[in-house]
Amino acid sequence: MPKGPHRWARRALALLLSTAMIFAIALAGPASAHGSVVDPASRNYGCWLRWGSDFQNPAMQQQDPMCWQAWQDNTNAMWNWNGLYRNGVGGNHEAVIPNGQLCSAGLTEGGRYRSMDTPGAWTMANLAATFNIRLNDQARHGADYIRVYITRQGYNALTTPLGWNHLELVRTTPRYAPGDVYMINNISKGSRTGRHVIYTIWQASHMDQTFYFCSDVNFG
Q: 34-219 belongs to which homologous superfamily?
A: chitin-binding protein cbp21 (2.70.50.50)
pLDDT band at 131 (very low <50, low <70, confident <90, very high): very high
44-51 contact pairs (CB < 8 A, 24+): 44/70, 44/77, 44/78, 44/81, 44/84, 44/113, 44/116, 45/81, 45/82, 45/213, 46/122, 46/123, 46/215, 46/216, 47/71, 47/78, 47/81, 48/78, 48/79, 48/81, 50/123, 51/78
Q: What does the pLDDT read at residue 14?
A: 43
pLDDT band at 33 (very low <50, low <70, confident <90, very high): low
Domain boundaries, the chain: 1-32, 34-219
Percent of the chain surpassing pLDDT 70? 85
Residue 187, pLDDT > 70, answer yes
Q: What does the pLDDT read at residue 1?
A: 44
Gap between the Cα atoms of 34 and 86, Å rounded: 12
Quick: pLDDT tens for 55-71: 999 999 999 999 999 99
